[in-house]
Structure 1
Amino acid sequence: MKYIVVTSTYAPTSTAAPERSRPACAGQDPDIFFPDGDLGPTHPQITEAKQICARCPLLQSCLQDALERGEEHGVWGGLSTNERHELKARRVSGRLLEAA
Structure 2
Amino acid sequence: MRTIVRTPSSTPAPVAKPRPACAGADPELFFAHALSTVQIARAKAICATCPLMASCLDGALERGEEHGVWGGLTEDERSFLKRRAARGHVASAA
Coarse TM-score class (shorter-chain normalised): 0.7 to 0.9
1:29 counterpart residue number: 26
Q: 1:30-82: CA deviations, max 9, x gaps?
A: 0000132365xxx0000100000000000000000000111010000000000
Match of 2:56 among 28, 52, 62: 62
Runs of 4+ in 1 over 3 A off after TM superposition: none
1:73 to 48, 67, 72: 67
* Partners of 1:34 and 1:28 in 2: CA distance: 11
What is the rounded CA distance, in whole Å, between the counterparts of 1:68 and 1:57 in structure 2?
A: 19
Q: Distance in 2 between matches of 1:81 and 1:35?
A: 12
3-state SS, counterpart of residue 89 of structure 1: helix
Give the direction of change, closer, same or farther, for the CA distance of 1:38–1:50 in structure 2 (3 Å limit): closer
CA distance in 1, matches of 2:26, 2:83: 30
RMSD: 1.7
Unaligned 5+ residue runs, structure 2?
1-13, 90-94
Cα pair 1:62 1:76 within 8 Å, conserved = yes
TM-score normalised according to structure 2 size? 0.75
Aligned length: 77
Structure 1 unmatched runs, 5+: 1-15, 96-100
Once residues 84 and 64 of structure 1 are traced to their aligned partners in structure 2, the CA distance between those partners, rounded to angstroms, is 10
| One-letter identity of the residue aligned with 1:63 | L
